[in-house]
């Protein structure tokens, strides 16, 4: 039996990752999990302290430290996602074999900071201190998991982390629960509007307004659009438009959300800044062609002209052209839908990928047990 501690940041797509991880851990009877989700809004002292109350990284890392310190069971290994949760965990990493998991390094995120409305610091000494702090955190980990090659390359070339210490394991989806391909193989009626689906909690950053402008300007009659978002202001902006439906209360992996994926013909996601979004992975598993942008690691999900079309961020004309291209070629829609499902099966199978995470945790735990046992024998001799 393994006692594994799972510290997972509760923000954005990491919440879906946390839910999926819990599901697959529950399938392994050899693991006794210690769940330590960390985020904001806990109404503790950190919410009241100056500086810290406005700094997500400090809040999350301090809460992670407290959760690990007060855990009822002593973990045989730790899983820390993301590196933000690990900033104060170096003392634990010296005693407990630890995996740091991440979708992007801080320097990766700096490269797409504008899309997040994040200002990269101009104080050289402060930025250098943050860089060295993150670098020492990565070096203290027993192993590192990245969601993508984009993040792995940054660790190797920016932070000088040995490549052999890093394993690329993308988050996956349950391919059985998200298997809607039979419904995608029916013949399309070219006289009916195509159903578009957009899923993005942060409507503006995910390119929602670019999509709205494209749909409103000249192609309204060709499509219907389902928008899944947390931005409730969109409902007021779009009230009275018959072919656009807004869904603000859907949760990850819920049946109503899956039904929208099942009913859709094209997934449209013209995001301005992202790393490796789970919404695209779900669209691939659902067998949808995808229109998106080439930011972050999205090129590791969508291959242009294979399972989707790539357009520049904030380019309404290019997005309209991509939509019209697929509208006028239903054979291409079917081919891209099949390719999406195939790539999902090859790269994003949750059963396989989460199994690889747990196997790596078992491996570093067993290696630590063996080393400790040998040390005890030497001391005894």
CB atoms within 10 A of CB 159: 19
* pTM metric for this prediction: 0.91
pLDDT tens-digit series, residues 312-339 = 999 999 999 999 999 999 899 999 999 9
Q: Which residues, 6+ apart, have CB-to-CB distance to 360 below 8 Å?
A: 99, 143, 145, 167, 169
Distance separating alpha carbons of residues 243 and 221, to the nearest angstrom: 8
219 φ, ψ to 5°?
Answer: -125, 20
Instruction: Check if the beta carbon of residue 32 is closer than 8 Å to that of residue 2.
Output: yes
Q: Which residue has the higher pLDDT, 374 or 32?
A: 32
pLDDT tens-digit series, residues 279-302 = 999 999 999 999 999 999 999 999
Confidence (pLDDT) at 185: 46
What's the distance, CA 145 to chain centroid?
13
Q: Which residue has the higher pLDDT, 41 or 230?
A: 230
Instruction: Check if the beta carbon of residue 232 is closer than 8 Å to that of residue 212.
Output: no
- Least confident residue range of 159-168, 180-189, 204-213: 180-189
pLDDT tens-digit series, residues 70-102 = 988 889 999 999 999 999 999 999 999 999 999
Does position 211 have pLDDT exceeding 90, yes or no? yes
Q: What kind and span of H or E run contains 291?
A: strand 290-292
Does position 252 have pLDDT exceeding 90, yes or no? no
Angstrom CA distances, 110 to 54, 154, 274, stand at 19, 12, 12
pLDDT band with cut points at 50, 70 and 90 for residue 378: very low
Question: Structural domains in the chain?
Answer: 2-172+350-380 (3.40.50.2000), 181-347 (3.40.50.2000)
Q: In what order do the strands lie in the sheet with 266-269?
A: 244-247, 223-228, 194-199, 266-269, 290-292, 308-310
Angle in degrees, 0-180, between the axes of helices 330-347 and 278-285, rounded to the nearest 10: 110
């Amino acid at each position: 039996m393994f006692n594994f501690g799972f510290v997972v940041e509760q923000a954005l797509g990491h919440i879906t990752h946390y839910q999926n991880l819990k599901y697959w851990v529950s399938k392994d009877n050899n693991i006794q999990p210690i769940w330590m989700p960390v985020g904001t809004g806990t109404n503790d002292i950190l919410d009241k302290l100056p500086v810290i109350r406005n700094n997500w990284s400090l809040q999350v890392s301090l809460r992670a430290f407290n959760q690990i310190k007060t855990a009822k069971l002593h973990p045989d290994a730790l899983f820390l996602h993301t590196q933000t949760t690990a900033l104060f965990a170096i003392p634990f990493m010296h005693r407990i074999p630890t995996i740091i998991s991440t979708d992007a390094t801080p320097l990766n995120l700096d490269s797409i900071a504008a899309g997040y409305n994040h200002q990269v610091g101009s104080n050289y000494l402060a930025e250098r201190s943050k860089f060295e702090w993150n670098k020492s955190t990565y070096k203290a980990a027993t192993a590192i998991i990245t969601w993508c090659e984009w993040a792995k390359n940054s660790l190797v070339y920016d932070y000088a982390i040995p490549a052999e210490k890093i394993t690329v394991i993308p988050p996956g989806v349950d391919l059985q629960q998200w298997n809607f391909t039979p419904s995608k193989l029916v013949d399309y009626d070219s006289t009916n509007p195509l159903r578009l689906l957009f899923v993005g909690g942060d409507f503006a950053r995910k390119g929602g307004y670019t999509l709205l402008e494209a749909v409103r300007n000249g192609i309204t009659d060709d499509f219907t659009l389902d928008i899944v978002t947390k931005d409730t202001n969109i409902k007021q902006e779009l009230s009275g438009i018959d072919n656009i439906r807004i869904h603000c209360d859907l949760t990850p992996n819920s049946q109503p959300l899956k039904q929208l994926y099942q009913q859709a013909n094209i997934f449209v996601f013209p995001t301005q800044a992202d790393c490796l979004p789970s919404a695209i992975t779900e669209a691939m598993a659902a067998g949808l062609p995808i229109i998106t942008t080439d930011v972050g690691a999205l090129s590791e999900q969508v291959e242009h002209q294979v399972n989707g079309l790539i357009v520049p961020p904030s380019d309404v004309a290019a997005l309209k052209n991509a939509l019209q291209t697929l509208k006028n070629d239903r054979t291409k829609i079917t081919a891209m839908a099949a390719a999406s499902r195939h790539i999902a099966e090859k790269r994003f199978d949750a059963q396989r990928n989460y199994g690889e995470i747990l196997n790596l945790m078992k491996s570093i735990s067993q290696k630590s047990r063996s080393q400790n046992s040998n040390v005890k024998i030497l001391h005894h001799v």
